């Protein structure tokens, strides 16, 4: 039984027997993990009754991308280009020990970790 209580055409889906499948097409990155993203055409075209079967497609959430592990000591422009090419947004801030060199000292999230595509990577610059 699908655990979320959803209302489509003012009929609670929780009153129906629901099956689910999972999908994460690139166009659905705005959906959080577990959010319903589609419902069977038959369920949209008729009134549902208790016990009816409804198939939902449920998002796996945004695609995760590995933060590159070779950012440290890379120039700010090169690191920004690399990250933007992977689908990230980039912000920069001066590291605590800023020297004005224009190189990456670290990042948040850390290199090698997984982050949602489209999320922001903070580069700490020395």
* Pair 25, 42 in one domain: yes
Residue 41 lies in a domain: yes
Beta bridge partners of 53: 17
Q: Which of 19, 40, 59 is the last residue of a domain?
A: 59
Distance, in Å, from the CA atom of 86 to the CA atom of 70, rounded to the nearest integer, reads: 14
- The pLDDT mean for the chain works out to 75
CATH code at position 92? 3.30.10.20
Tell me the pairing of strands 53-59 and 17-23: parallel
Residue 53 lies in a domain: yes
Nearest to 21 by CA among 60, 48, 64, 61: 60
Distance, in Å, from the CA atom of 105 to the CA atom of 42, rounded to the nearest integer, reads: 55
* Pair 97, 73 in one domain: yes
Is the pLDDT confidence value at 34 over 80? no
**Which residues are CB-neighbours of 110 under 8 A, at least 6 positions away?**
67
Residue 91 lies in a domain: yes
Is the pLDDT confidence value at 113 over 70? yes
Which has more confidence, 114 or 4?
114
Residue 83 lies in a domain: yes
Strands (E), 11-52: 11-12, 17-23, 36-39
Give percent above pLDDT 90 in the chain: 45
Structural domain containing residue 98: 64-125
């Amino acid at each position: 039984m699908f655990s979320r209580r959803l209302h489509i055409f003012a009929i609670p889906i929780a009153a129906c027997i629901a099956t689910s499948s999972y999908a994460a097409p690139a166009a659905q990155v705005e959906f959080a993990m577990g959010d319903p993203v589609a419902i069977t055409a038959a369920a949209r075209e008729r009134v549902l009754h208790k016990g009816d079967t409804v198939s939902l497609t449920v998002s796996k959430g945004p695609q995760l991308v590995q933060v590159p592990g070779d950012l440290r000591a890379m120039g700010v422009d090169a690191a920004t280009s690399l990250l933007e090419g992977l689908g990230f947004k980039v912000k920069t801030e001066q590291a605590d020990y800023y020297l004005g060199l224009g190189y990456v000292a670290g990042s948040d999230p850390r290199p090698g970790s997984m982050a949602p595509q489209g999320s922001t990577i903070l580069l700490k610059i020395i």
